[in-house]
Structure 1
Amino acid sequence: MHDYNERYRRQMMMKDFTPEKQEKLKNASVFVGGIGGLGGATAAYLASAGIGRLVISHYGNLTETNMNRQLLMDINRVGEPRVDIAYENLMKINPDLKLEMHNVRLNDENTPELIKHCDIAMSARPNFPERLSLNKACVDKGIPMIEAAMDDMNGYLFTVMPHETPCLACNMPADDKDWKELGFGVLGAVSGTIGCLAAVEIIKIITGHGEPLNGRMMFIDFMKMRTVMPKLNRNPQCPVCSHK
């Protein structure tokens, strides 16, 4: 038997982070689309913070090239489905966690069903079609979404609040045909940093503890350790959110 209050005691020592806020985490359900270097860090820190339920999608088997950044993985299990490896390691972090794993790519047909009972979603897939499918499903269902990504030594995140803020499609309305899913450089510490920031944003939104990135992007240039916070504009002709 695990002592719930003792496990999260240091968390509840934060100013104004009440037991009621911790209880909100326990009762929350979060969808994480992708558990690679970025989404894996998000999932791990949500589990350690006491999120009650995680629904995770990630397609494919573990390769050795994943190991420079995907800390939920195990080098001894190359060739196995990543969702199976992540399941075991997340349960080691928090054995009380309810986990639902899906070895699938996101598309317009399956995404609405995957996020159906979730309170918030996080986008971490390395391609535009899956990100746009998740964005559309979240806007349609009124579910907040954290959009987080990295490329080389750059990373960004912002929060999509359906009916309130610009959505992903407002600023990126179509797939980038020049983008190669495995064609960009990754430093594990960069993807992990963005993933941790996404976890913080999710925890803030669930608990009401702090001000989320509504309508603003946090962009980090890790080469110069420079952060900029541009305001995002809503597209009045957006095919996803303009009619809402």
Structure 2
Amino acid sequence: MAEIVTEERYVRQIPIMGVEGIQKLKQSRVFVGRCGGVGGTVINYLIRSGVGHLVCAHGGKIVPEYLNRMQLAYESDVGRPCVDAFKDKTDAINPAAKITYVPQNITEIENLDEILGGVDIVIDAHPLFEERYALNAAALRLGVPMVSGAMYGDEGYVFTIIPRKTACLRCLYPERPKFWNDIKVFPALGMGPGIVGCTMAREAIELLLKGTSPLSGRMMHFDLTDMDFAVLEMPKTTCNH
């Protein structure tokens, strides 16, 4: 029965990416920084789609306020290390996916370049700009494409960075926005992170299959208050990359 499930799991994807695409995803390796409302959604759909190996970094323990938006955290997980709770869910979603969990946030990781070694793309799902800048710099240094996404209240955005070709995070935000300085106070409703995470997962699959994507050098921005969605050009600045 397990073999039948494995064979049939991806049957509806064949018209979209072909058998060759499914095999390519199975051989792909993706880094995900933070696995919360945004990153957990990315992980959920990447492993459901057949991405074979993920490296996921997230520190701390599950607290009650995570539960309104994190797909990989349940009420019974409160007090557990985040990576232990997440592993239970991802093992149940797709046991064939290999997921390496790093129980630290990115700014606590000393051997970041080593951890990123061999990945095909990186996913920036971090809530804090210190973390986002660190991953942006590492991706540029290693020449690895990065899909970046974030939300604040009812607003969210996603864009993709192709090193040396497109704008990067520093082009968009040369300095950290003053209003985005505390992970504990920014507003969040589960649908916003979900939309951001789903969009990032689709971008990641496009990158893995084709080496480019609709949001390479462009930003999708939305505001759920009035259901306004737009795709904006991201000009490359003179930042040193």
Task: Quickly name the TM-score band, shorter chain normalised.
Answer: over 0.9
1:193 to 192, 195, 219: 195
Over the matched positions of the two proteins, sequence identity in percent amounts to: 35
Matches within 5 A, 1:95-134: 95-107=95-107, 109-134=110-135
Say whether the 8 Å CA contact 1:205–1:212 is kept in structure 2: no
- Residue 185 of structure 1: how far off its partner (Å): 0.7
1:10 is the counterpart of 2:12: yes
- Residue 210 of structure 1: how far off its partner (Å): 7.9
Which residue identity lines up with residue 21 of structure 1 in the other structure?
Answer: G
Which residue identity lines up with residue 184 of structure 2 in the other structure?
Answer: L
Matches within 5 A, 1:31-42: 31-42=31-42
**Structure 1 residues 28 and 93, CA, compared in 2 at 3 Å: closer, same or farther?**
same
1:172 maps to 173
- Residue 133 of structure 1: how far off its partner (Å): 0.5
Mapped to 1, the partners of 2:212 and 2:170 lie a distance apart of: 26
Mapped to 2, the partners of 1:101 and 1:94 lie a distance apart of: 15
Mapped to 2, the partners of 1:97 and 1:62 lie a distance apart of: 23
Mapped to 1, the partners of 2:149 and 2:113 lie a distance apart of: 20
RMSD: 1.5
- Unaligned stretches of 5+ residues in structure 1: none
TM-score (normalizing by structure 1): 0.93
Aligned length: 237
1:150 maps to 151
2:73 maps to 73
Matches within 5 A, 1:211-226: 211-226=213-228
Mapped to 2, the partners of 1:211 and 1:119 lie a distance apart of: 14
- Residue 234 of structure 1: how far off its partner (Å): 1.1
Q: Deviations over 1:215-240 (max 9, x none)?
A: 1100011111111212111111x14x
Mapped to 2, the partners of 1:170 and 1:97 lie a distance apart of: 35
- Greater CA drift, 59-68 or 98-107: 98-107
TM-score (normalizing by structure 2): 0.94
- Greater CA drift, 175-184 or 141-150: 175-184
- Unaligned stretches of 5+ residues in structure 2: none
**SS of the counterpart of 1:158?**
strand
Say whether the 8 Å CA contact 1:35–1:57 is kept in structure 2: yes
Which residue identity lines up with residue 122 of structure 2 in the other structure?
Answer: A
Mapped to 2, the partners of 1:222 and 1:177 lie a distance apart of: 23
Which residue identity lines up with residue 145 of structure 1 in the other structure?
Answer: M
Q: Deviations over 1:24-74 (max 9, x none)?
A: 100000111011111100000001000000100011100011000111112
Mapped to 1, the partners of 2:110 and 2:203 lie a distance apart of: 27
Mapped to 1, the partners of 2:20 and 2:207 lie a distance apart of: 14
- Residue 125 of structure 1: how far off its partner (Å): 1.1
